[in-house]
Amino acid sequence: MKRVLIVDDSGNHRNQLTIILKKHGYELIEAENGEQAIEIAPKMHVDFILLDVIMPVIDGYQTCEIRKYQEPTQAVLINFLSAKNEISHRTFG
């Protein structure tokens, strides 16, 4: 079973994603912010991260940057979640 970490400061968004992904057989772990995600991801051996961009404490971009230096999570795929729709807010790499 694939383990997905959902990182979003909105409990509503986390709940919606959890309902959808559980139906497809994913094991889900939740974090309320980037700081929690950085702590949880290496310990829980996640396969994929759904990461909100705009969050308190540490935003999604900073979380992604820090996470890529953590040995167990360097190769974990990340999908950013954002309400921002402008091209200038999209990042690849």
Asked if 41 and 66 count as a contact pair (C-beta separation under 8 A), the reply is no
Q: What is the pLDDT of residue 92?
A: 45
* 87 has a pLDDT exceeding 80: no
Cβ(38)–Cβ(67) under 8 Å? yes
**What is residue 93's DSSP assignment?**
-
- Joined together, the tokens standing for residue 57 give 């404490």
Looking at the whole model, is its pTM more than 0.75?
A: yes
Total domains, the chain: 1
Domain of residue 45 covers 3-72
When comparing pLDDT for 33 and 86, which is higher?
33
For residue range 51-70, what is the model confidence (pLDDT) as tens digits? 999 998 899 999 989 888 88
Q: Is 9 within a domain?
A: yes
Residue 85: inside a domain: no
Please indicate whether residue 30 or residue 93 has the higher confidence score (pLDDT).
30
Instruction: With respect to residue 55, please indicate whether it lies within any of the assigned structural domains.
Output: yes
- Domain with residue 37: its CATH number is 3.40.50.2300
